Structure 1
């Protein structure tokens, strides 16, 4: 496996069909350490497993993705959370970004391409955070 693709990824969605499609897409990109959950509670119960990235459905029954986001960020603010939603809701996107989500992706035609792009950006940010050169901040801000 490509060392750059060694991310531990959690995928959380209460729509099992979409959950399986998303998992398979991420695995097809070369990421092998992918764990799925069909609700936020199960994800939170396993958060001590220290995922690098959590793809989190915004609209779930019982515990919403927004609530799960806030709990994960309280536990470990360094986990990259990517919200995924079936609806185009600017307010929801802004709110999740304000609470620490790395990105917000709308389910649809280009979602797979956007997921690939966001994983590449996360790898870039992680690599830059390991560096200690003066241009770090400039490069970091260009990625975001």
Structure 2
């Protein structure tokens, strides 16, 4: 029996059918999935909701994947992002990593590899949030005169 991975994931791809199919496969494994077909839409969603992992297609009309990655990282530097590409190049993969992507995967995506990456990102995100919470508690304790 495959373990259920409970995570919130944002899929960003201009191909609606790809989002629908991948979302179904991820949801069968316990993930909560939101889809966006444009970079602008993804940026707005990330401003309103926290995600354990964000999966962005590199090639999209309008705001492409790299620009979407850049805009999300500007306002949410802790966002965990995987870039996907059907025609990825080493150059675009390196650029994505420089801009803050955690990983770069090729389409068609290997489901097991994607699930492992999402699991790693969720674990990392939990650790970051715990560290932030501890820092906030420490600050409160130091600033109050009990």
TM over 0.5: yes
Aligned to 1:140: none
Q: After TM superposition, give the deviation of residue 24 of structure 1 in Å.
A: 1.1
Question: What are the superposed Cα offsets for residues 59-102 of structure 1, whole Å, 9 maximum, x if unpaired?
Answer: 00011000000000001111101101111311111110111001
Aligned to 1:40: 39
In structure 2, the CA distance between the partners of 1:84 and 1:28, relative to structure 1 (3 Å rule), is same
TM-score (norm 2): 0.78
- State how 1:11-26 maps to structure 2 within 5 Å: 11-26=11-26
Unaligned runs of 5+ in 1: 133-144
Contact kept, 8 Å, 2:55 with 2:83, in 1: the verdict is yes
> Aligned-residue CA RMSD in angstroms?
1.9
TM-score (norm 1): 0.79
Q: After TM superposition, give the deviation of residue 111 of structure 1 in Å.
A: 2.2
In structure 2, the CA distance between the partners of 1:56 and 1:127, relative to structure 1 (3 Å rule), is same
Aligned residues: 127
